[in-house]
């Protein structure tokens, strides 16, 4: 890791022995699509930059990790969780549960580790970029390394 900010996410990855590259960028609140803005800011394709969303599946919080330019398919995610219904969680609860601020939520190093699902399109790339646990920090890593840390499988969860 270079001189980028150390976060709970980067510490968790380091502890797990996962190689990653930090990509700090100038975070701008209020932009329409934060993930797409982040992709542009680091000069990477939006389909390789993944956003982490906290969703309630039958009132149980889970993470959906999907390409920045896509939307989560709630019915697909609910089915993957064995739930009947899925909906976005309110931002305050997402922050309280994960320990990260909205715009900086990472699937790594969460205060309460949530069951996570990553979109299968991640496997199409040699490297993907996921939030590093702070607003204005993405981390580049191999998709299989991300899967090994969050202990999930890659499935189709976008629309």
Is the pLDDT at 136 greater than 90? The verdict is: yes
Distance, C-alpha 124 to centroid of its chain: 17
In this predicted structure, what is the pLDDT of residue 36?
83
Average pLDDT of span 28-54: 88
Show Cβ contacts of residue 117 under 8 Å, excluding neighbours closer than 6 positions.
62, 63, 64, 65, 77, 80, 81, 152, 153, 155, 157
Q: How far apart are CA 27 and CA 139, in angstroms?
A: 14
User: pLDDT of 108-119, one tens digit each?
Assistant: 999 989 999 999
The DSSP 8-state label assigned to residue 123 in this structure reads: G
Domains, the chain: 8-155 (3.90.960.10)
pLDDT digits (tens, 9 = 90+) for 46-66: 999 999 999 999 999 999 999
Give the confidence band of 2 by pLDDT, cuts at 50, 70, 90. very low
C-alpha torsion sign, points 19, 23, 29, 34: negative
> Between residues 89 and 159, which one has the greater pLDDT?
89
């Amino acid at each position: 890791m270079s001189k980028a900010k150390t976060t709970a996410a980067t510490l968790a990855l380091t502890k797990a022995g996962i190689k990653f590259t930090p990509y700090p960028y100038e975070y701008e609140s209020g932009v329409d699509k934060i993930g797409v803005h982040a992709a542009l800011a680091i000069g990477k394709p939006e389909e390789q930059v993944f956003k982490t969303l906290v969703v309630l599946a039958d009132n149980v919080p889970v993470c959906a990790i999907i390409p920045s330019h896509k939307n989560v398919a709630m019915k697909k995610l609910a089915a993957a969780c064995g739930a009947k219904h899925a909906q976005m969680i309110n931002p305050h609860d997402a922050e309280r549960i994960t320990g990260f601020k909205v715009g900086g939520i990472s699937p790594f190093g969460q205060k309460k580790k949530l069951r996570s699902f990553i979109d299968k399109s991640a496997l199409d790339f040699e490297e993907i970029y996921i939030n590093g646990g702070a607003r204005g920090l993405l981390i580049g890593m191999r998709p299989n390394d991300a899967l090994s840390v969050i202990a999930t499988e890659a499935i189709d969860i976008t629309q």
